[in-house]
A and B are shown apart, each in its own frame.
Chain A
Amino acid sequence: MDRNMRLYQQLYTIRYFETLLLEKFSTGVFHGTTHTSLGQEANAVGVLSQINEDDVVVSNHRCHGHFLAYGGDPLALFAELMGKPGGVCGGVGGSQHLHWRNFYSSGVQGGTVAMAAGMALAEKFSDKDAIVVDFMGDGTLGEGIVYECLNMIALWDIPILIVLENNHIAQTTPSHLAIAGSIPQRFEAFNIPTTHLDTSNILEILPAASRLINKVRSEQSPQALIIETARLGTHSKGDDTRTSEMLTRLWQTQDPIAIHGARLPEQDRDAVKNKVKENIQSAFMKALEMEGGGS
């Protein structure tokens, strides 16, 4: 499989996982809540396709895409969301609290930046060359601990790549009601070198991520990557106050699956889609049949 096909497969795996999850939520097989990664798939795949095995990934409440792009098992994630003992964290963590190998996510805004900074500092102390990739959102910029940590990340040359996915909305609050001033300048004020992309095109995100990850590793110091992106789904399961016109426009212009899919012959694209659907459906059914959990 060539690179574009493989990337499309990874993007569509997240897309279809989240789509099936939302579709099945209403049937009562899942518990609690979920925050889907629809629209932000290219950030997850573009960045995480470029890390090394020893690198650490820290994610937030909207973590399914990151988890799957990291290589996490869709079956274990479905099982976690169903509250099964065979889930990623035995059903204790649920949607927002995942840990597998070097992947960690948590659900309180801002705290994950501190956690990620500490992990990266530990890697620096260990004299290994592993780094940390930390995903945060624009909504997280309201938390004070973020700025405490940016300060220490810069002061102590902590080897971390902060990926800020700016989807321009925090739950239902548009960013113009929550964020004053400039986002890049928040990082630049601490002398953290900042790269700013306005794209949902994985072929722009991937090379930038590759370059920045290499820099963090070789220079043992932080970098920030800000990606202007689009949340194409609701915040959680059904809470979206944006107009249908706005959503239609986002789907038409910023859908990373459509953007990348256009590079593939229709026949190949359909073949990948069918294969992914088959795998994800099979994972869902297997999770459903696992012992324990259930409503």
Chain B
Amino acid sequence: MSSKSPVTVLDSLNLGLHQAMEDDPRVILLGEDILDPYGGSFKVTRGLSSQFPKRVLTTPISEAGITGIAGGMALRGMHPVVEIMFGDFSTLITDQVINHLSKFQAMYHDQVTVPVVIRTPMGGRRGYGPTHSQTLEKLFLGVPGLTVLAPFNIKSNEALGIPGKLLYDAITVLDFPVFFVENKRQYLLKLLSSTDLQEYEVSEIETAGKASLPFYKLALRAAPKAQITLAAYGYMAHLTLEAAIRLAYDEEIFCEVLVPTQLSPFELAPLFDSVKRTSRLLSIEEGTLSLGWGAEVLARTAEALGPNLKVARRLTATGTVVPAAPTQEADCLPGVEDIIVRIREMV
């Protein structure tokens, strides 16, 4: 493993892939344009084809085919990792994910396992326009047999950083199919160190299971009781932290920020604990409103807490395509200002 310490989410994911390939000969990479010197559209796979030339396969533009092939390889003992170049193209793999990879273990009566990781960057704010900017993971939430993960940009005590550690575990430890949701803007974020987060009390809540799929709770140190719980993941978790700190300093509104790394299946106990204290819940995501992540989070919280949940809302993208023009795109996607405005409305 490289001795250098990861600085960004991109570094962390890249190191996680390097480490997984080094430690586990069953790991193989498939994806479009992932060979060096290009190293992938977003450079997450940079260096891997040079270090492991036989185990990195650059593929034709055949998302369904490579995902299905990865499923077949996994059934015969390998641990394939598939890169889907843009999250928008995940629509092309839905039959393979839903009718094949996620089904095999149960439909073959637990006689097989399907350790495949499908990684893909979602998200806009780069001006790529309607078919290269979407946040589509809601299509995969709740699919039986499929786990959906999203990294959080913190360093924690992990040499790889949390994004890389999460990816490493998904590849080498988990033996079921994983849809691993990255985000284009998140790649460039710095991994937050304990110094960066010194104003926060950070709790890393371990979930049960084979690998560590932590749930994070961030609350300002020595602050009065929080008035609202904010639920967000991935890049939106970063924007949510920014909104929370501004509200605390500028308006004395205090929030608890809850960040899962496992989106589906929904395991929300730490979130329920927070909402029991605040009685208000805002979910924040970059996807569209209807039947999204937040819809399920709110429904489950309402079921779990009943009248203890007093106010609940969702902040999402508007229901249009994601425009290419910068101002129109900014109007479409939820930003820090939108989060602040929505929280003000709720407390």
Query: A: which residues have CB within 8 A of B?
Result: 56, 88-90, 92-93, 97, 99, 104, 106, 108, 111, 113-123, 125-126, 144-145, 148-149, 151-152, 155-156
Contact = CB atoms under 8 A, between A and B. Distances in A.
A118 B109 CA distance: 21
A89 B96 CA distance: 21
Given A148-B64, A152-B62, A152-B66, A117 B57 contact: no
A111 B95 contact: yes
Interface of B: 28, 57, 59-60, 62, 64-78, 80, 95-96, 99-100, 103, 106-109, 111-112
A111 B99 contact: yes
Given A56-B76, A144-B64, A118 B69 contact: yes
A145 B69 CA distance: 10
Given A114-B65, A118-B71, 20 more contacts: A89-B107, A89-B108, A90-B109, A93-B109, A99-B108, A111-B100, A114-B68, A117-B69, A119-B72, A122-B73, A122-B78, A125-B73, A125-B78, A126-B77, A145-B95, A145-B96, A148-B62, A148-B64, A152-B59, A152-B65
A56 B112 CA distance: 14
Given A108-B99, A145-B64, A93 B69 contact: no
A141 to B, nearest CB: 15
Given A122-B76, A152-B59, A111 B108 contact: no
21 contacts: A56-B76, A114-B72, A115-B69, A116-B72, A117-B65, A117-B68, A118-B72, A118-B73, A118-B74, A119-B76, A121-B69, A122-B77, A122-B78, A125-B28, A125-B78, A144-B64, A145-B64, A149-B68, A149-B69, A152-B59, A152-B60
A44 B107 CA distance: 23
A104 B109 CA distance: 12
B68 to A, nearest CB: 2
Contacts of B73: 118-119, 121-122, 125
Contact of B96 (A56, A114, A125): A114
Contact of A122 (B57, B64, B66, B72): B72
10 closest pairs, A vs B, by CB? A118-B72, A114-B68, A148-B65, A122-B76, A148-B62, A118-B69, A99-B108, A90-B109, A89-B109, A119-B72
A71 to B, nearest CB: 16
Nearest to A98: B108
A90, A104, A111 — most chain B CB neighbours (10 Å): A111
Contacts of B71: 114-115, 118
A115 B95 contact: no
A89 B108 CA distance: 5
Given A117-B72, A118-B70, A151 B108 contact: no
A197 B65 CA distance: 28
A104 B96 CA distance: 16
Contact of B68 (A92, A93, A118): A118
Nearest to B112: A99
Contacts of B99: 108, 111
B108 A104 contact: yes
Contacts of A88: 109
B254 to A, nearest CB: 50
A99 B100 contact: no
Contacts of B107: 89, 92-93, 97, 106
Nearest to B68: A114
Nearest to A123: B76
A152 B69 contact: yes
Contacts of B66: 148, 152
Contacts of B69: 114-115, 117-118, 121, 149, 152
Contacts of B72: 114-122
A120 to B, nearest CB: 8
Contact of A148 (B60, B95, B108): B60
Contacts of A126: 76-77
B109 A99 contact: yes
Contact of A97 (B65, B74, B108): B108
B64 to A, nearest CB: 5
